Amino acid sequence: MFELSNYTKYIEEKINDMELPEGPADLYDPLRYFLTIGGKRIRPILTLLGTELFDAQKEKSLPQALAIEVFHNFTLVHDDIMDDAPLRRNKTTIHEKWNNNVGILSGDVMLIKAYQLLCKDIDPKQLPETLELFNDTAIQVCEGQQYDMDFETRDDVTIHEYIQMIRKKTSVLLGSALKTGAIIAGASEHDKDAIYDFGLHIGLAFQIQDDILDLYANPEKFGKQVGGDVIANKKTILYLTALNKATKEQLEVAKQLQNESNIELKISRTRELFDHLNVKEECQERMDAHYKLAKEAMAKISVSTEKKAALLSLASYLMKRDV
């Protein structure tokens, strides 16, 4: 039976065991700090599960799983600087705890450390494909972040553009994590492509769900302020769906709400507008469609249903966060 907590604990232990130099302290202390302040560890777990799916031991892809987690954290460090975010996982961000320069340089070292781990204890024949996948993924993540920033100053963002943005910024890393495990396990080209598609669509469904939860989650269970995207005037899938369905009068209301200074009123009125337009239900349909595509991709993989159980269980867990 699949137990997510066992994999999370395993990754946490291996992260804590990572050897980092003592000095310069302002370079490596931030790494130690950021890598140990928590997180779901979903991406490295996907790499391990992607390896086990094709009859290889999870230890075989451990360095590469850690590489993906370190890379993910590198992107968060730099994202926090760009967003001037004070908190990450309810802890002070690196640039706030130290300063921007420390955050930039520590992030740079994390990226280099990710490459070191990616190349560690890997079959030389598998290294070129693994590196090519990692490089392509890293570029797409950067592209996705740039699109996300571009959207902040645009009033004509389409739903299609938004989906492509979250595909690059979020989903490709999930697909890459799984495919990396499959590469190391020696999976066929067909199966490597299928497991990548599985991760891609799980990532899209997960991000759409995240947009929904931001406004509709149970505040006691969400872990952060409900309505944060509304407060920040983020062009989420909910907001873009609302614009597509709104009348001229409703569009004017939406525009006025963007400038509303009363935060509680802004959130409640936005939710009322979205409810009137059935935005939540339409976005849930989009989420369910990607989840269905993910399961269809998994069905194409040429291993037994029993072996797929762990990944399907994890996907189900990710799709059942409390609203």
What is the structure's pLDDT at 241? 98
**Residue pLDDT, tens place only, 181-223:** 999 999 999 999 999 999 999 999 999 999 999 999 877 666 5
Q: How far apart are CA 168 and CA 152, in angstroms?
A: 17
Residues 192 and 302 in one domain: yes
What is the structure's pLDDT at 25? 96
Sign, CA torsion 229/208/103/222: positive
Residues 97 and 127 in one domain: yes
> Where do runs of H (alpha helix) occur along the chain?
4-16, 25-35, 42-52, 62-83, 94-97, 100-118, 127-151, 159-166, 172-185, 189-216, 219-222, 228-231, 237-245, 248-258, 263-276, 279-299, 305-318
What is the structure's pLDDT at 107? 96
Cα-based distances in Å from 319 to 29, 56, 162:
35, 27, 20
What is the structure's pLDDT at 109? 97
Q: What domain range includes position 320?
A: 188-323
Residues 49 and 159 in one domain: yes
Q: Which of 12, 15, 137, 58 is nearest to 310 (CA)?
A: 58
Residues 112 and 250 in one domain: no
Residues 141 and 162 in one domain: yes
Q: Compute the residue count for the chain.
A: 323
What is the structure's pLDDT at 224? 61
Q: Which of 41, 63, 42, 39 is nearest to 120 (CA)?
A: 63
Helices 4-16 and 42-52: crossing angle, nearest 10°? 110
Could you tell me if residue 74 is left (phi over 0), alpha (psi between -120 and 50 degrees) or otherwise beta? alpha
Q: How far apart are CA 66 and CA 13, in angstroms?
A: 11
Q: Which of 113, 94, 112 is nearest to 26 (CA)?
A: 94
With beta carbons less than 8 A apart as the criterion, state whether 297 and 273 touch.
no
CA atoms within 13 A on the CB side of 211: 27
| Beta-strand relationship, 91-92 and 87-88 | antiparallel
Domain count, the chain: 2
Residues 129 and 258 in one domain: no
Low-confidence ranges of the chain (pLDDT < 70): 1, 220-225, 322-323
With beta carbons less than 8 A apart as the criterion, state whether 101 and 47 touch.
no
What is the structure's pLDDT at 222? 60
Residues 210 and 158 in one domain: no
Residue 223 CA from chain centroid, whole number: 16
Sign, CA torsion 13/17/22/26: negative
Instruction: Record the tokens describing residue 153, joined without a space.
Output: 């100053």
Name residue, tokens 């600087």: 81
The domain boundary, picked from 139, 160, 185, lies at 185
From the number of C-beta atoms within 10 Å of its C-beta (0-12, 13-18, 19+), residue 175 rates as buried
Q: How far apart are CA 35 and CA 227, in angstroms?
A: 27
Domain harbouring 145, CATH code: 1.10.600.10
* pTM of full prediction above 0.85: yes
Residues 196 and 305 in one domain: yes
With beta carbons less than 8 A apart as the criterion, state whether 20 and 32 touch.
yes
Q: Which of 272, 277, 215 is nearest to 246 (CA)?
A: 277
With beta carbons less than 8 A apart as the criterion, state whether 159 and 100 touch.
no
Residues 166 and 251 in one domain: no
Q: Report the Cα–Cα distance between both ends of the chain, in Å, rounded.
A: 26
Residues 269 and 171 in one domain: no
